[in-house]
Amino acid sequence: NFAHHKAPITSVAWSPWEAPMLAAAAADNTVTIWDLSLERDPEAEAAMAAEAEQAEAPDDLPAQLLFVHQGQKDVKEVRWH
């Protein structure tokens, strides 16, 4: 159960190469890519943040969310190429 998009999902496409990956387009003008095989690992995140001196990921950001593309208007369909 994910609650990332702020408007209805308009299209979902499963990756033909990686079974747990999907792309989703929404009426909020975003296209997201997800890897449903991933789980959040707080210990690994803390170790990476300490080594790279990066800010921690927000708690409300799903670990499965790989990429967000914003700026498209009225995306109705996503496909893998």
pLDDT at 32 over 80: yes
Mean pLDDT, rounded, for 39-45: 74
Amino acid 19: pLDDT: 93
Say whether pTM exceeds 0.75: no
Mean pLDDT, rounded, for 3-29: 90
pLDDT at 1 over 60: no
pLDDT at 6 over 70: yes
User: From edge to edge, which strands make up the β-sheet containing 21-26?
Assistant: 9-14, 21-26, 30-35, 65-70
- Residue appearing with tokens 């995140």: 45
